[in-house]
Chain A
Amino acid sequence: KAGVTQTPRYLIKTRGQQVTLSCSPISGHRSVSWYQQTPGQGLQFLFEYFSETQRNKGNFPGRFSGRQFSNSRSEMNVSTLELGDSALYLCASSEGPLGNQPQHFGDGTRLSIL
């Protein structure tokens, strides 16, 4: 079974631009979550989607948004990029929305803001 696939792996943008990151979950997994990883703040939860609906949201500004498609693939968008948005963005998938099910992570998209 293929793992979680995130594209692109690396991205360089400048301040003020917007960016879209993509995540394809493991086949059969319907829940997709996104996390931001930085040296200063560690791993922080952005949001979770299940059956195309946002179920949970972290404490990030409205510039961060996401969506999920009917095939469970998910995208996250960051508008008006700031230097502080430089981070590794990780996507995780699980079979369902219950917290006792393991989440499987992709290798992430490393976003650098110049």
Chain B
Amino acid sequence: AQSVTQLGSHVSVSEGALVLLRCNYSSSVPPYLFWYVQYPNQGLQLLLKYTSAATLVKGINGFEAEFKKSETSFHLTKPSAHMSDAAEYFCAVSDMNYGGATNKLIFGTGTLLAVQP
């Protein structure tokens, strides 16, 4: 069964510092992986996705993630944090059935990012 683990429920960085949010997945087959961001009182916004093309995936707002099969990781990074990046971030993997990948997303528990001035 597919699963994702996000290490660190709370991460705090200074404005301008590197952002690193960790995600490890468990999958018996090559996974489809996603990062979403959620601002207060809003839904989820897609940051980026990995669907077995390039292992380094660039997303919106300066975020990127690298798929590392050997480490079963898909960590999210941003070189320089901005105050507007403060939000909750979710890593997700597409569930699989006999027909292949489905639209059922299995989410991690989320990481709340705080950005200090």
| A contact residues vs B (CB 8 Å cutoff) | 4, 6, 31, 33, 35, 42-43, 45, 48, 50, 55-56, 58, 90, 92, 94, 97-108
With CB as the reference atom, state the residue of chain B lying closest to A101: B103
Contacts of B42 in A (CB 8 A): 107-108
B49 at the interface (CB under 8 A from A): yes
Interface size class on chain B is: 20 to 34
Answer whether residue B115 sits at the interface, using C-beta atoms and an 8 A cutoff. Answer: no
Residues of B within 8 A of A4 (CB): 43
- Name the A residues within 8 Å of B20 (CB-CB): none
Name A90's closest neighbour in chain B (CB-CB). B43
Interface string of B89-103 (1 = CB under 8 A from A): 010101111001111
A31 contacts B107, CB within 8 Å? no
When chains A and B are docked, how far (Å) is the Cα of A92 from the Cα of B49? 15
Contacts known (A42-B109, A43-B90); A97 close to B102, Cβ less than 8 A: yes
Question: What is the CA–CA distance of A42 and B45 in the complex, to the nearest angstrom?
Answer: 16
Q: List B residues 61-117 near A (Cβ within 8 Å).
A: 90, 92, 94-97, 100-110
List the A residue with the shortest CB-CB distance to B46: A102
Report how far A56 CA is from B106 CA in the complex, Å: 13
